[in-house]
Structure 1
Amino acid sequence: MVGAGSFRSDDDGAVRFPHRWTPEGVTVEADFTGAHLLHLAAAGCVLNDVYREAGELGIRIDGVRVSAEGGFDTQTWMSSGITYQVEVSSPASGDDLAVLLDRVDDVAEIPRAIRAGATVRRG
């Protein structure tokens, strides 16, 4: 789970990072496993893109929290998919936020890359 603004975590176990769009940075709560890091990459990308696209649309964002989860077939290690949830704190209307989140779902780079698939090789 990643959070920023009014949704930053106060948990002692949360890791804090500087963030381009928020003066207080972001917080990350995740186990350090490959699967959790894959899910964190998708969640972090979505959080970043909420801020970026909101700026383009002129929508004020007071906070964002994104969580992502999924599973793997333990025989093949193929992902069963990733599902993410977004919470946004903003004075914008529900309709404006729906437009924003649809736009983010279309443009978020990491979810798009995962959806498209990729070859991974040792170099």
Structure 2
Amino acid sequence: MAETYGVVVGAGSLRSSSDGAWRLPHRWTDEGVAVEAAFTGAHLLHVAAAGCVLNDVYREAAGLGITLQGVRVTAGGGFDGEWVSTGITYAVEVDTQASPDEVARLVAVVDEVAEIPRAIRAGAPVQRVSTAG
């Protein structure tokens, strides 16, 4: 089975306590975010998608009047022999008193609006530019 370059991004009550997690400040939570991922390009691509989804869960929950105790997003995906992504999958876990229907609506809205997953889905050119030495 091919490697999936999995990552976990969590905040609030679902924030990792692992010694190996990176800890970063976070606009939406006092405790910050914990990221469990190796430092490779493949993992960082998946961290970008998962981190964006986590941020947008907090943002959209605020707009919908949903109080969150915690959010965890897991993401991963593989690459073919030429290092072309075979796609990214992600899952969202939410710690809240909101109903399952409200959580489902929240996650569906986030799936539509999350900027980094949208950009990856649409594709974008990546170009090297010269830097002044």
Cα displacement (A) at 1:78 = 1.4
Find the partner of 1:52 among 41, 51, 59.
Answer: 59
**Separation in 1, partners of 2:80, 2:121:** 17
1:61 is aligned to 2:63: no
Deviations 1:41-90, CA, capped at 9 Å, x for gaps? 00000000000000000000100000100001122x21100000110000
Cα displacement (A) at 1:116 = 0.1
4+ residue runs over 6 A deviation = none
Alpha-carbon RMSD across the aligned residues, in angstroms, is: 0.5
Q: Which residue of 2 aligns with 1:115?
A: 121
Find the partner of 1:99 among 105, 112, 116.
Answer: 105
Q: Which residue of 1 aligns with 2:86?
A: 80
**Separation in 1, partners of 2:22, 2:46:** 16
Normalised by the length of structure 2, the TM-score is: 0.90
**Separation in 2, partners of 1:43, 1:74:** 24
Aligned length: 122
Amino acid in structure 1 at the alignment position of 2:94: V
Cα displacement (A) at 1:105 = 0.1
Find the partner of 1:29 among 36, 41, 61.
Answer: 36
Normalised by the length of structure 1, the TM-score is: 0.98
Gaps of at least 5 residues in structure 1 are: none
Amino acid in structure 2 at the alignment position of 1:112: R
Structure (1 or 2) with the larger CA radius of gyration: 2
Amino acid in structure 2 at the alignment position of 1:85: A
- Give SS of 2:68's match: coil
1:38 is aligned to 2:45: yes
Cα displacement (A) at 1:4 = 0.3
